[in-house]
Amino acid sequence: MKFGITGNVLKPEFETIFKQVYTFLTKNNHEVWLSNNVFIDRSSQTYKTIPQKSIDEIGKDCDIILSIGGDGTILSTFRQVAEYEIPIFGIHIGGLGFLGESNQDTFKNALNSILSGNYFTEKRMALKLNINNNPKISHYSLNDIVIDNGNSPRTLQLHVYISNHFLNTYISDGVIFSTPTGSTAYSLSAGGPIITPNLNVIGVTPICPHSLSARPIILSDNENIRIQFSEENVGMAVSVDGQIHIPIDYTQEVNIARSKFDALLIRLPYNDYYSTLRTKMGWSGNFR
């Protein structure tokens, strides 16, 4: 098999895990390439002799891309290879996140499962952001797209249209548009529902709305969402997965729809979404 590797080099554990993964795979006669955009301006001897490809070449040429880091690293990896729909396997630095399937202690068993074919690929829907219908201002999101007041203390007025039907004017600190994957992120802390990842829907969750009637709503993934603004608000911005931040002004229009590209996440049969959910949410499972 052909593997590409990317990850969060800022985490001190990355280099150790990378060397172990690279050694394990090459000793088992598999081809491995490191994404060459990960180690820009780094001088470590570890990577001097490692074969490298661009992230686009990995997306085109490899069977699987390994993402070493946290859930945020997997989100970033997806955006970089979205159009290639290459399966992503997360090796989590630390404990397990919602998206990673293994960590430093379990990755060898996990990779053995993959190499023996004992795994499956789970499709996760994503969103596409477009501003003013400008193809140069478009991004993919696996978690969420958030419009908020940025550095401004003022509330926003967002006019939200669903497939050309007016939904509501939200007077709030912003609105979160989330995938099922992103429902356990910012949306959850803002009062949105947990949505299991096998559903294809879009969550709309207002942030600190000024009306008790402004409640979260779940939309079909077939809908096109259009957001307009009626007044100037200095500091207003759109963020993608909490990692890309785009300043906008009240004259612009934001469009959100389901991406035609899905995220393909490698899953292992012995891991369980609901078990991970209970652990992350601190649910005991027992009532007394």
CATH number at residue 91: 3.40.50.10330
Which tens digit of pLDDT belongs to each residue from 88-97? 999 999 766 7
Q: Are residues 147 and 244 in the same domain?
A: yes
Q: Do 85 and 116 belong to one domain?
A: yes
Domain that holds residue 44: 2-125+262-281
Same domain? For 134 and 250 the reply is: yes
Q: Are 183 and 277 in contact (CB under 8 A)?
A: no
Nearest to 79 by CA among 284, 285, 263: 263
**Which residues have a Cβ under 8 Å from the Cβ of 43 and sit 6 or more positions away?**
none
- Does residue 149 share a domain with residue 30? no
Tell me whether residue 286 is in a domain. no
Q: Are residues 219 and 113 in the same domain?
A: no
Measure Cα distances from 241 to 108, 117, 126, 146, 194 in Å: 29, 31, 11, 8, 17
Instruction: Pick the catalytic residue from 56, 61, 63, 71.
Output: 71
Residue type, 54: S
pLDDT digits (tens, 9 = 90+) for 260-275: 999 999 999 988 899 8
The answer to whether residues 254 and 266 belong to one domain is no
Residues of the chain short of pLDDT 70, as ranges, are 39-47, 95-96, 234, 285-288
Residue 210 lies in a domain: yes
Q: Is residue 287 part of a domain?
A: no
Q: Tell me whether residue 36 is in a domain.
A: yes
**Residue 41: its pLDDT value, please?**
45
Identify whether residues 43 and 79 lie together within a single domain. Answer: yes
* 88 in the same domain as 11: yes
Distance of CA 260 to the CA centre of its chain: 15
- The answer to whether residue 56 is catalytic is no
Give the per-residue pLDDT at 65: 98
**How many domains does the chain divide into?**
2
User: Same structural domain for residues 177 and 209?
Assistant: yes
In angstroms, rounded to a whole number, what is the distance separating the alpha carbons of residues 9 and 94? Answer: 14
